[in-house]
Amino acid sequence: MKTYRCDVCGCTNVKLWRDYESAPRLLCFKHTMEKEHSAGDDGQSHSPNDDSIHWSVAAVPTNFAECMTEPIQALWGYTSVPPDAAAWWQALA
């Protein structure tokens, strides 16, 4: 698997989201919003602090401590993210 970066623009050290049912692409806030808007977003206002945006959810790696420099091993399920991993994701830009 790849390191923790947006699959569209390549930005790093930012929160990323993935599709709820799968994890084929990791997207930054800007590209998540573009994807959800084109898919018929629910019209709600969202911010980079939201752990879910329509059908996209926080992409939190199981090896979050080293995922910026080493390949992601796996991603936590949306309802299974432990507190330390959730805090790591929330601390990202």
**Residue boundaries of the structural domains of the chain:** 1-75
Whole-number Å distance between alpha carbons of 47 and 36: 13
- The length of the chain is 93
pLDDT by position in tens, the chain (length 93):
689 999 999 999 999 999 998 767 999 999 999 988 766 655 678 889 999 998 899 999 999 999 999 999 999 999 999 999 999 999 999
Residue in 59, 13, 52 with CA at minimum distance from that of residue 36: 52
Q: Is the pTM of this model over 0.85?
A: yes
